[in-house]
C-alpha cells in the first residue's frame, strides 16, 4: 500500500462547478499535511497547508480527518485556470515530504 494515495482522475468538470478530492495516508503518526498544485510540464508549487481545524483560502477549502486518515480539498466555482494536477503531501517526520501520485483536474468551458 502506498503511503499517500489519491484517485488519479481525471476529474472533468464544467466552469463554476464545485469539485472535491480526497487523499488517504497510511502513517497514523504523520504530522503535517499540504496540497500542492502542478501544471502540465511544470514544477509543483504549494497551494495550501491543511490544518486540523480545516482552513479556507478563497475558493479552496482543505480538511483533515485524523481518525480516518484522510485529507480533502474542495474547490468552489471552478475556473479554467484551476486545471492542473493536485498533489496531496504528508510530512511524517523531520523535513521530508511524501507525495501522492496526484489527481488531475480538467475544467471545461
d(CA 24, CA 98) in angstroms, rounded, equals 12
Residue of 100, 104, 105, 107 that binds another protein (CB under 8 A): 100
Nearer to another protein, 41 or 109 (CB): 41
| Length of the chain in terms of residues written | 109
Nearer to another protein, 26 or 32 (CB): 32
Asked if 80 interacts with another protein (CB under 8 A), we say: no
Angle in degrees, CA 22, 101, 89, rounded to 5: 65
Asked if 51 interacts with another protein (CB under 8 A), we say: no
Q: What's CA 14's distance to the chain center, in Å?
A: 19
C-alpha cell at 97: 515530504
Nearer to another protein, 20 or 46 (CB): 46
Asked if 40 interacts with another protein (CB under 8 A), we say: no
Quick check: helix, strand or coil at residue 23?
strand
- Give the residues lining the site for another protein (CB under 8 A): 32, 34, 36, 41-46, 49, 87, 89, 91, 94-102
Amino acid at each position: 500500500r502506498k503511503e499517500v494515495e489519491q484517485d488519479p482522475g481525471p476529474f472533468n468538470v464544467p466552469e463554476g462547478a464545485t469539485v472535491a478530492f480526497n487523499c488517504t495516508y497510511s502513517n497514523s503518526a504523520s504530522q503535517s499535511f499540504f496540497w500542492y498544485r502542478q501544471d502540465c510540464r511544470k514544477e509543483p508549487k504549494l497551494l495550501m497547508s491543511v490544518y486540523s481545524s480545516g482552513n479556507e483560502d478563497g475558493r479552496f477549502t482543505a480538511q483533515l480527518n485524523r481518525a480516518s486518515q484522510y485529507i480533502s480539498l474542495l474547490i468552489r466555482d471552478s475556473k479554467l485556470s484551476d486545471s492542473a494536477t493536485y498533489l496531496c503531501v504528508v510530512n511524517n517526520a523531520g523535513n521530508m515530504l511524501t507525495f501522492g501520485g496526484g489527481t488531475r483536474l480538467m475544467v471545461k468551458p
